[in-house]
Structure 1
Amino acid sequence: MADEELPEFEVPVGMFQDLEDLKAQVARLSAQVRELTEQGDPDPGEASADTDTAAADEPETDGDEEDEWQFPPFILLLDSPQYDDELRALIEWVEGVLVPGYLAEPSADARWCHLWFEHPVAIARLHALWLAWQELTDPATCGYTGPSAWHRDHLDPCMRELRPSNGPFAGCTKGEHQVDHRMPGVVPSAWNRPEG
């Protein structure tokens, strides 16, 4: 049987990427399981049976929900002062990582506004990009293919939406900044009934 030749199979390249993504997901889930098991009681053997039954009868508290957040929630769900703090952190990341590392000189086909933080659409998209970056650049949670997935699945689509000539920065040029150029005007529609 050792002398038999094995048939050659053609494996699609995409399958290797899918396998690497699955490995990264398993690694991330394994890290989360380890983290959750380490957060348990330091010495569960000392707890009495009475406290175990009492704890089982009680509903979960809000404190458990707070522990679920590993990363900050989406910025549009925050109110001040949390929104302001998150925006400051986002500005540091965009200006310190994204702009110098990934953005070339703005042009008519690749717009960018130096006051991007005054564009709500840009804040939302860049915050989502930053949240993905925080998760996918940590090898402990996503393996070594995380950065590749971040570029492919997050950075490239985000830049395609933000930087085209008809994107949110369409009215902004090097010397001029316009925030309200994307705001819709009053549009006649079926929602407005004529008074009669």
Structure 2
Amino acid sequence: MAAGRELHWCDHWWAHPEAVVRLTALWLSWQAARLQPDGILGWLRDADNTMDRLTVSTGTFSQCGPSRHKPQPALPTSQPPAYLFSPLSTAAPASQA
């Protein structure tokens, strides 16, 4: 952690989907990195980046504290067009392009 930077952590880290995805990816990459002679150095860079993303003042845990959990609001979304999720479709229909 950089000098003078406030660290934000949430004891309900598992209730933040972004944290779960990032920490799961970090764990899986650890499983591969630990078996490689030079894998841990790269893993440490990934771990530092992951923890920075989660704990900075604008990160995933920015509104939380050691004993305070406040989930970030979800980004607004609208219903996507049905063709985006068609298993055989790779592009918009001609009338939609």
TM-score bracket, normalised by the shorter chain, equals 0.5 to 0.7
Q: Are the aligned partners of 1:113 and 1:169 in contact in 2 as well (CA < 8 Å)?
A: yes
Greater relative contact order, per chain length (Cα 8 Å cut-off, separation 6+): 2
Q: Which has the larger radius of gyration?
A: 1
In the alignment, which residue of structure 2 is the partner of 1:148?
A: 41
Q: How far apart in 1 are the matches of 2:26 and 2:62? A: 20
> Percent identity of the aligned residues?
34
Provide the secondary structure at the position in 2 that maps to 1:182: coil
Corresponding residue to 2:52 among 135, 160, 166:
160
Q: How far apart in 1 are the matches of 2:20 and 2:62? A: 16
Q: What is the one-letter code of the residue matched to 2:42?
A: A
Query: Root-mean-square deviation (CA), in Å?
Result: 2.4
Q: Are the aligned partners of 1:168 and 1:182 in contact in 2 as well (CA < 8 Å)?
A: no
Q: Are the aligned partners of 2:11 and 2:67 in contact in 1 as well (CA < 8 Å)?
A: no
Deviations 1:120-157 (Å, cap 9, x if unpaired)? Answer: 0000000110110000001xxx2x211111102x1011
Instruction: Write the mapping of 1:55-134 to structure 2, written as runs, cut at 5 A.
Output: 109-134=6-31
Shift of 1:163: 0.8
In the alignment, which residue of structure 2 is the partner of 1:184?
A: 75
* Unaligned residue ranges in structure 2 (runs of 5+): 78-97
Deviations 1:92-127 (Å, cap 9, x if unpaired)? Answer: xxxxxxxxxxxx8xxx72211111000000000001
Shift of 1:176: 1.6
Q: How far apart in 2 are the matches of 1:149 and 1:184? A: 32
Q: Are the aligned partners of 1:125 and 1:158 in contact in 2 as well (CA < 8 Å)?
A: yes
Output the TM-score relative to the length of structure 1. 0.35
* Unaligned residue ranges in structure 1 (runs of 5+): 1-103, 187-196
Q: What is the one-letter code of the residue matched to 1:156?
A: D
- Higher-helix-fraction structure: 1
Provide the secondary structure at the position in 2 that maps to 1:148: helix
Paired residues, number: 76
